[in-house]
Amino acid sequence: MRASQSMTSADPTQHTIAIVGGGLAGLHAAWQLQQRGIAFELFEARSRWGGRILSTPESGIDLGPTWFWPAFQPRMSKLLEMLQLPSFAQYTEGSSLLEHWNGQIARYDGPLMADTSLRIAGGCARLIQRLVDHLPSERLHLNATVESISIGAEGISITVPAASTLPYRQVWLAIPPRLIPAIHFAPALAPATVNALKAIPTWMAAHAKYVALYDKPFWREQRLNGDAFSHVGPLAEIHDASQSGYAALFGFFRIPHGERASYGEHALKAACRAQLARLFGPQALAPEQDHLQDWAQEPHTATTRDHANGHEHGIASLANVFPTPWQACLRLIGSEAGSDQAGYMEGALHDIDTLLNSA
Ligand SMILES: Cc1cc2nc3c(=O)[nH]c(=O)nc-3n(C[C@H](O)[C@H](O)[C@H](O)COP(=O)(O)OP(=O)(O)OC[C@H]3O[C@@H](n4cnc5c(N)ncnc54)[C@H](O)[C@@H]3O)c2cc1C
């Protein structure tokens, strides 16, 4: 494994901070450390970067997060500006639809969302790729699930499959708090710490998205903006997902995780196409391609607890969650640990100087 060779052959004095998790939080922290000349290694369990951020290849339609709100999310706005990534407003021209229990479809003027929602041009995965492009590849390790973290005489060691790393001064955990107890800690985390971590829901972990791409945004020709709420389903909330050069609709499922699994992907996609046709017309039955992304089935995002209550934000206080001896060497930097806007992309953008000053 190339990554482990570079991990074990590097100068130990260069190993300052180990970052666990290569989603937005981990990559953003790595980029800030890189800018300050502070050495790090980043370990990501999946075979791709981005965590909950995922866009369709080429078309860049988002299968994870879609929007940010500059009115109250200044860090996202600033980051996109620094990385020179353009954004654009969610399409809102025309009427929205409401599908009632009895099957009647009502039309309302205007969009369903009150605040101006912005999208990253080319999809949120562009933000991830831009961060990766700014980082030294030899410090980034994919397929590297951190299995254990232990305190030794020389510092903190972590193990990933088929490799153990040189000691670090600190470990920054950029993963959902509920996934932390799956890591073996030596000495063990206190039961109260484990319970506190498990109590934090992972935002959107129970959800699934359906995306359908078309040759043109035909709903706009009917003065429909693509917004729809439904009491019938299978999708509860639908929006225009079009990007420059690509016409698309997306929806969040109203069918809960357990039921989704029993339907299977083929049947779910067919039911989604039928619903879009009821709402927007028969052209919706024949997308050029469609995608289903079920986050509840992703073990590096969701736990069984999230299946039960993944609809809440991780707003419980995590201050002082790690008592001695871990207090000095572990930091929580994922979105759920955000000081504000926890659960959102904004929550994943931690102030690095605060983290370093607490080191
Ligand atoms: C369907 C959906 C819609 C959303 N919509 C929005 C939206 O519109 N706007 C918004 O702001 N936010 C939205 N969000 C939330 C947003 O995606 C998250 O806030 C953000 O992406 C979290 O980033 P993160 O880096 O903290 O965590 P994650 O993206 O979860 O990254 C954690 C990473 O850690 C890795 N990992 C886990 N365990 C280990 C281990 N032991 N070792 C190594 N690596 C590990 C995982 O593989 C993952 O890559 C949405 C999320 C979903 C799923």
- Ligand 1 neighbours (beta carbon < 6 A): 20-26, 43-46, 51-53, 64-68, 145-146, 174-176, 179, 183, 203-204, 207, 209, 295, 300-301, 334-335, 343-348
Bridge-based pairing of strands 224-230 and 330-332 is unpaired
The answer, yes or no, to whether residue 183 has pLDDT greater than 80, is: yes
> In this predicted model, what pLDDT tens digit does every residue of 120-144 receive, in sequence order?
999 999 999 999 999 999 999 999 9
pLDDT at 4: 35
pLDDT mean over 184-202? 94
Share of the chain above pLDDT 90, in %: 79
The answer, yes or no, to whether residue 315 has pLDDT greater than 80, is: no
Among 71-80, 140-149, 316-325, the range scoring the smallest mean pLDDT is 316-325
pLDDT at 175: 98
pLDDT at 137: 96
Q: For residues 209 and 54, is the Cβ–Cβ distance under 8 A?
A: no
pLDDT at 100: 96
Q: How far is the CA of 40 from the centre of ligand 1 (A)?
A: 20
Q: For residues 28 and 21, is the Cβ–Cβ distance under 8 A?
A: no
Q: Which domain holds residue 44?
A: 2-51+128-201+312-357
Of 174, 197, 209, 232, nearest to 306 by C-alpha is 197
> In this predicted model, what pLDDT tens digit does every residue of 58-86 receive, in sequence order?
999 999 999 999 999 999 999 999 999 99
Q: Classify residue 250 by burial, with Cβ atoms within 10 Å: 0-12, 13-18, 19+.
A: buried
What value does the mean pLDDT of the chain take? 91
Handedness of CA 251, 44, 169, 325 (dihedral sign): positive
Pocket test for ligand 1, best of 43, 44, 52, 76 (most atoms within 8 A of CB): 52
Q: Could you tell me how far CA 147 lies from the centroid of its own chain?
A: 21
> In this predicted model, what pLDDT tens digit does every residue of 13-31 receive, in sequence order?
456 899 999 999 999 999 9
pLDDT band for 1, please (50, 70, 90 cuts). Answer: very low
Q: Could you tell me how far CA 44 lies from the centroid of its own chain?
A: 13
Helix or strand holding residue 119 (H, E)? strand 118-120
Among 48-57, 216-225, 309-318, the range scoring the smallest mean pLDDT is 309-318
DSSP string, 165-229: PPPBSEEEE-S-GGGGGGSEEESPPPHHHHHHHHTSPPTTTT-EEEEEEESS-GGGGGTEEEEEE
d(CA 227, CA 120): 19
Residue 62 is assigned to a structural domain of this protein: no
Task: Report the alpha-carbon angle 309-260-315, nearest 5.
Answer: 20
The answer, yes or no, to whether residue 10 has pLDDT greater than 50, is: no
Q: Classify residue 162 by burial, with Cβ atoms within 10 Å: 0-12, 13-18, 19+.
A: exposed
Residue 188 is assigned to a structural domain of this protein: yes
Q: Beta-carbon neighbour count of residue 120 at 10 Å?
A: 27
For the chain, how many residues are written? 359
* CATH (domain of 100): 3.90.660.10
pLDDT mean over 165-187? 94
Phi and psi angles of residue 26, each rounded to the nearest 5 degrees, phi first: -65, -45
219 and 268 inside one domain? yes
147 and 276 inside one domain? no
Q: How far is the CA of 8 from the centre of ligand 1 (A)?
A: 29
Q: Could you tell me how far CA 207 lies from the centroid of its own chain?
A: 12
Residue 59 is assigned to a structural domain of this protein: no
> In this predicted model, what pLDDT tens digit does every residue of 224-261 receive, in sequence order?
999 999 999 999 999 999 999 999 999 999 999 889 98
pLDDT at 277: 98
The answer, yes or no, to whether residue 294 has pLDDT greater than 60, is: yes
d(CA 357, CA 359): 5
216 and 278 inside one domain? yes
Q: What is the 3-state secondary structure (H, E, C) of 235-261?
A: EEEEEECCECCEEEEEEEECCCHHHHH
Residue 306 is assigned to a structural domain of this protein: no
226 and 348 inside one domain? no
**Which ligand 1 atom sits closest to the C-alpha of 145?**
42
pLDDT mean over 322-334? 92
What is the number of structural domains in the chain? 2
